[in-house]
């Protein structure tokens, strides 16, 4: 199974008083990976908006396993989980420079129109892009 990989270097301003990356930055790193993957298939926030839809985050899960430290080069691996509803579900794994998993997370994005009206079926233009992404992710 394929995944999208993004390299992130932990910057000085991302380290807290404990000499480790502040927990809130992991969410931003997940967002970078998710945006890059989605953008490859015409589904980043701006591309989705151009299609007439929004994808606000309605659920976020994040489990911290090990700390990231200043100047570590991290790898964010992002995939998409199939959904039966009009939602986009992205899974992220963050790995340290030694290859050890530092964190794992998930975001769920509910599709709405531009006025915020919840969509109950996946719009065809979005579904086509999701199918292309799924095919790429499932390719060996």
The string of DSSP codes covering 39-75 is HHTT-SHHHHHHTTEE--EEEEEEEE-S---TT-EEE
Whether the per-residue pLDDT at 137 is higher than 80: the answer is yes
- Per-residue confidence at 1, pLDDT binned at 50, 70, 90? confident
Phi, psi angle pair for 133, to nearest 5°? -65, -45
Hey, is 99 helix, strand or coil?
coil
Structure tokens at 94: 């963050």
Instruction: Give the model's pLDDT for residue 24.
Output: 95
Interval 57-111: pLDDT, tens: 999 999 999 999 999 999 999 999 988 899 999 999 999 999 999 999 999 999 9
Hey, is 42 helix, strand or coil?
coil
Q: What mean pLDDT value characterizes the chain?
A: 96
């Amino acid at each position: 199974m394929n995944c999208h990989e993004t390299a992130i270097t932990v910057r000085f301003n991302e380290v807290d008083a404990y000499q480790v990356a502040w927990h809130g930055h992991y969410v931003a790193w997940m967002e970078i990976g998710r945006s890059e993957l989605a953008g490859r298939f015409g589904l980043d926030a701006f591309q989705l908006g151009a299609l007439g839809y929004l994808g606000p985050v309605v659920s976020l899960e994040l489990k911290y396993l090990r700390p990231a430290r200043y100047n570590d080069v991290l790898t964010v691996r992002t995939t998409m989980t199939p959904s039966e509803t009009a939602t986009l579900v992205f899974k992220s794994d963050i790995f340290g420079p030694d290859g050890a998993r530092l964190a794992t997370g998930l975001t769920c994005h509910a599709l709405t129109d531009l006025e915020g009206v919840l969509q109950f079926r996946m719009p065809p233009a979005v579904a086509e892009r999701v199918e292309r992404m799924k095919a790429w992710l499932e390719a060996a």
